[in-house]
Chain A
Amino acid sequence: MTLPEPGIWGPVLAILAMALATYLCRISGVVLMGFIPLTPHVRRGLAALPGSIIAATVLPLIERLGPAAAVALLAAIGSMVLRRSELLALLVGMGTIAGLRALGF
């Protein structure tokens, strides 16, 4: 017996499959860590994880997006150091990239 083709339900099924995959990503880290004892090593590893996720996400993306993006990001970090406002950092970063791209960078 073969499964009938998705047909008109294709787009909805594709969205449901994406939703399932994403929900599994959301819960699996929490479920997995439930089985790992919190030894001092694991605790230190978890403490280093948030900054590591950020660095591992941002650096390659910036490398792909180019120098204008790097400048915009440094501007955003600088504003965050001075003012500690995520909103301002976003405005500074987006303003910088929009300006640089408008100038042809």
Chain B
Amino acid sequence: MGHAAFPVSAAGMLLGIRRVSVLMPGVIIFAVAFGAAASAKGLSLFETLLMSALVYGGISQLIALELWRPEWSWGGIVALAALTATVNARMVLQGASLQPWFAHYPKSLNAFHLFFFTDANWVIGTRYHTEGGRDLGVLIGAGLALWLVWILFTIPGHALGALMADPRRLGIDLVLPIFFAAMIVPLWRGKRAAVPWLVAGIVALVTSKLVDGYAFIIVGSLSGALVGAFTDDAA
């Protein structure tokens, strides 16, 4: 699969697992907290695991719990799907940012590994690709390892249930911001390259004040990309 310059190797998958291992503690805390919150909301273990395995998007899963109910109408299901899409819309941009790399691989392989594409995966893939890495195995290994750990640690969380009623006290709401903020350091390419980021942050802040929900991520990110597109490369 792939070709010489763009391989998918076992060594790459192992590297991906190694890279993702440093993010595992945060993911484990998040998985346990999600399992606990799900059981507190009355989801069965089967439903909780099904959601973790198929949706595999921590923040959207936590938000879905806020709306969870025992009886579902079709309208309620459609509304939940729409909310999930807005919460996860950042994945559209994350995928787009790595597309120049993915484009060298068969569509079916991309359709497969993108099922496992998530924030931590994007963090690892972006850093690896920025450093000149081209082995898609890194992303696949990291994605699979994280998916298994995510599902596995939902189970003890579900068993603990009410014992962990307030995940906020564990600082779980800070896991994603910390991952993301820490990534700024390896991405740093000087002040000039950071101007679009500043614009993105300010536009997102203003948007979050004016519009409910999670539209601020998309509006802010696209503003930053637009500024970047029309800024000359650093002299």
Binding site for B on A (CB under 8 A): 3, 5-6, 10-30, 32-34, 38, 41-65, 69, 72-73, 76-77, 80-81, 84-87, 89-91, 93-94, 97-98, 101
- Knowing A48-B225, A57-B217, A80-B182, the reply to whether A41 touches B230 (Cβ < 8 A) is yes
Decide: A32 and B96 in contact? CB cutoff 8 A.
yes
What 1/0 mask marks residues of chain B from 79 to 90 whose CB sits below 8 Å from any chain A CB?
Answer: 011101100111
In the bound assembly, the distance between CA atoms of A46 and B225 in angstroms comes to 6
- Knowing A51-B196, A52-B221, the reply to whether A44 touches B231 (Cβ < 8 A) is yes
**7 chain-A/chain-B pairs, Cβ below 8 angstroms:** A14-B64, A17-B78, A20-B81, A25-B95, A30-B99, A86-B23, A86-B182
Q: Which of A10, A22, A32, A93 contacts B56 (CB 8 A)?
A: A22
Q: Give the total number of A-B pairs whose CB atoms are below 8 A apart.
A: 296
Nearest opposing residue in chain B for A39, CB measure: B229
**Residues 85-137 (chain B) with a chain A CB within 8 angstroms:** 85, 88-100, 102-103, 110-111, 114-115, 117, 126
Q: Give the most central of A21, A33, A55, A84: most B CB within 10 Å.
A: A55
Chain B interface, DSSP helix/strand/loop, else mixed:
helix
In the bound assembly, the distance between CA atoms of A85 and B23 in angstroms comes to 10
Q: Which of A24, A44, A54, A64 contacts B184 (CB 8 A)?
A: A54
Decide: B204 and A15 in contact? CB cutoff 8 A.
no
